Structure 1
Amino acid sequence: MPPTWDIFCTVIDNYGDIGVTWRLARQLASEHSLHVRLWVDDLTAFTRLCPSADPQASQQWQQGVDVRHWASDWPACATAEVVIGAFGCRLPGPYLDALAARATPALWLNLEYLSAEDWVEGCHGLPSPQPNGLRTVFFFPGFTAKTGGLLRERDLVQRCLAWQTDDTARQAFLARLNVHPAPTARLISLFAYENPQLANWLDALIEDVQPTHLLVPEGRILADLNAWFGEALAVGDVRRRGGLTLQVLPFVSQQDYDQLLWCCDFNAVRGEDSFVRAQWAGQPWLWHIYIQDENAHWEKLEAFLKIYRQGLSDEAAQALLAVWRAWNMDRDMAQAWRALQPHWPTLQAHARQWRSAQAARPDLATALVQFYRNWL
């Protein structure tokens, strides 16, 4: 019998935690034939990503995964051979007691946040003894051979490439969302936290020589969008100003969001899950990193930019840095965006090269399975 896996997820507020764990659970079940239980404390958030799910069910099967509601009233259940606590979440006390009572130890992994910082390589795979006699092991996703890799389904890049060369499928998908861009328009997706530089960027898009069709899935950035337009926009609304067409989209499933990214010429994303999916889309992109106190997130941002810009010319690298820093550090986004335009072909080629390089590494799910085998 294949080993059983338990994944615990505490939903915070931005879908990144449940987004990552839901993708991981599906891949472990479908590609590695594992019995996976995904314990989620907020099924309402889960149903935003998996519309077929029942937000009231204590247990349900979704896409091969045993999804359980993680409630304060913990049910008696057997522990798994592999236990993953995502992003430092604290496992239920009764479950920890059951882990400590096992005749044969389970592998308890602490799946950490994705980061390109130098110290990650040194901490990946390190054990951490716990007061109850158990120990957990730090497992870091990452971009180098000394980390756990990135979430990537086995055929993801091939599916993306096939999609991007199939104009019929692309147009049919956009039509399903009621998106009908002009033939010459550049298609941009925007998924972000609140950002004071949005108005600056929109002003620049209005004046662009090439028209833009901006797709905004409903989310936190809508408040800034409403302030710029001077009205409350709703899902389905389309507005035009100068060379900019703006359209508000509904919050979509993970599969649909992937395809939206594949359709677009440029993707502005946020957090961790969409951060990784934009890289697999192989198009120029922009990351809005999760904001931390005292701007602690800037160090994480700069660490990624240090490795991502490798291979770019000095001019293209500086233009890329200027846009990412403007978006994340409240600098002049309009000026940075205009300076980026001459480097567009270079950034397109670089995004594809980066995707190929990362796809040559083991994916996160495979790395986790191999880590367990080695541990045995």
Structure 2
Amino acid sequence: MKVDWDIFCKVVDNYGDIGVTWRLARQLVAEHHCAIRLWVDDLRAFERLCPELDINAARQWQHGVEVCHWPTDWQPADAADVVIAAFACQLPSAYMEAMAAREKAPLWMNLDYLSAEDWIIGCHGLPSVKYKQVQKYFFFPGFQVGTGGLLRERGLLERREQFQHSTEAQHEFLQGLGVDRTDGARLISLFAYENVGLADWLDVMAGDAHATHLLVPEGRILGDVERWLGVDGLSVGALQVRGALTVQVLPFVRQDQYDLLLWSCDFNAVRGEDSFVRAQWAARPMLWHIYQQEEDVHLDKLEAFLTLYTAGLSPAAKAALVGLWRAWNTGAGMAEAWVATQEHWPELQKHAQAWCLEQASQADLASALVQFYLNWI
């Protein structure tokens, strides 16, 4: 008998919440044969990741997942065997009553934000609050043993390796996006929030002796790119050349295509949570733009990850990479940090591959959630 799961997602900002829950829901269906209802409050934002979605439908099936609009005027619904409140979203009060009314209480988990901070190991899997007789549990994705791991579909690394070893497959994919890669040019993807440090980085790439082809999917960073280029209204397909730098605007693509983009590039600048994890599976040097929080608490999370990620690097390579990430996330000058990073490029490439394999040696997030349920029952 299939186990029924309800996953609740409030789209707060920038597609990160729905990106994670949509990927998780599909994997639970495809690999673990779970019956999934994904409750989403903003179907219009969801449509960017799933273009075939009917934004006016209260219920619909997409990729084996029952997608349900989470309305403000909640209608009665039976509670599932497993209930996931993604990123601490508050469940409808009527649904919580339905959980409490079940003969056997469901497993209720708060799927929290990804973090490399040490304290999450001690909190992962612990009981949280109760609603009547229904107990909620903390579930933390993470990078270390003792956490919930990272989202990773079965066979992902094998597919990536096959793609990265096929010049023909990469060429065909890039051509489909209108990208004609210049021989010898370093290919970089840029997906980020607004960043005052971008101009300095673009300046140094434009003046470099090494050619760079910068691919910029539609998103919030595009305004900063336009200001640097001195143009308005860059649209998909726009191509601008400044010195050694070619800048090209790409469409906002669905998740499987974004994976291929990351796999095609030599370096990936990413943002948020979902693209951050996917860049690690790409096994290429990367740069993370972490979501800014009040009182700069996000910088503590950044440092926690850097401590883990840079272990094993030579002191010089570590200093260069840490300097680059700190500059990018504090709006500082990027030029010196980028030049220093390039001096250690071969080491950073090997390190990205080793980190990817290290993370893949742990259980993936979907499997860890299923195992948690099996242990619970």
Q: 1:176 aligned to 2:176? A: yes
CA distance in 1 between partners of 2:218 and 2:146 (Å): 37
Tell me the distance in 1 between the aligned counterparts of 2:277 and 2:154: 15
Aligned to 2:92: 92
Task: Specify the alignment match of 1:362 in structure 2.
Answer: 363
C-alpha distance in 1, partners of 2:38/2:126? 24
- Alpha-carbon distance in structure 2 between the residues aligned to 1:269 and 1:369: 29
Aligned equivalent of 1:327: 328
CA distance in 2, matches of 1:206, 1:184: 15
Q: Shift in Å at residue 131 of structure 1?
A: 4.7
Q: Deviations over 1:204-226 (max 9, x none)?
A: 10112210000000100011111
Counterpart residue number, 2:310? 309
Unaligned runs of 5+ in 2: none
The 3-state SS of whatever aligns with 2:343 is: helix
Secondary structure, aligned partner of 1:240: strand
Render the CA deviation track for 1:271-320: whole Å, top value 9, x for unaligned. Answer: 00000000000000000000011211100000000000001000100000
d(CA) in 2 for partners of 1:123 and 1:129? 13
Cα shift at 1:75: 2.4
Question: Is 1:106–2:115 an aligned residue pair?
Answer: no
- Partner residue, 1:201: 201
Q: Does 1:83 align with 2:83?
A: yes
Distance in 2, Cα, partners of 1:117 & 1:71: 35
Alignment of 1:6-21 (within 5 A): 6-21=6-21
Q: 1:353 & 1:252 partners in 2: Cα distance? A: 28
Q: Where does residue 341 of structure 1 map in the other structure?
A: 342
SS for the counterpart of 1:130 is strand
What's the CA shift string for 1:52-89, capped at 9, x where partnerless?
A: 11111111111111111000122222211000000000
Distance in 1 of aligned mates of 2:128 and 2:112? 13
C-alpha displacement of 1:145: 1.0
Q: How many residues align?
A: 376
Equivalences for residues 178-257 of structure 1 within 5 A: 178-232=178-232, 233-257=234-258
Post-superposition, which runs of at least 4 consecutive aligned residues in structure 1 deviate over 2 A?
Answer: 129-134
Structure 2: how far apart are the matches of 1:60 and 1:165?
A: 38
Q: 1:276 maps to what in 2? A: 277
Higher alpha-carbon deviation: 2-11 or 227-236: 227-236
CA contact (8 A) 2:106 2:134 kept: no
Partner of 2:121: 121
Q: Is this contact kept in 1: 2:6–2:84, CA < 8 A?
A: yes
For 2:308, the aligned partner's letter is I
> Which residue number corresponds to residue 294 of structure 2?
293
Quick one: distance in 1 between partners of 2:275 and 2:199?
Answer: 22
Give the distance between the partners of 1:328 and 1:354, measured in 2 at CA: 22
Aligned-partner SS, 2:344: helix
CA distance in structure 2 between the aligned counterparts of 1:344 and 1:131, rounded to whole angstroms = 52
Q: Deviations over 1:98-144 (max 9, x none)?
A: 00111001000000000000100011001013353422100000011
SS in 2 for 1:296: helix
The C-alpha deviation readout for 1:316-368, integer Å capped at 9, x for no partner, is: 00000010000001222011001111100000000000000100100000000
* TM superposition score normalised by structure 1: 0.99
State whether structure 2 residue 37 is matched by structure 1 residue 37: yes
- Which moved further from structure 2: 229-238 or 247-256? 229-238
Whole-angstrom distance in 1 between the partners of 2:6 and 2:335: 46
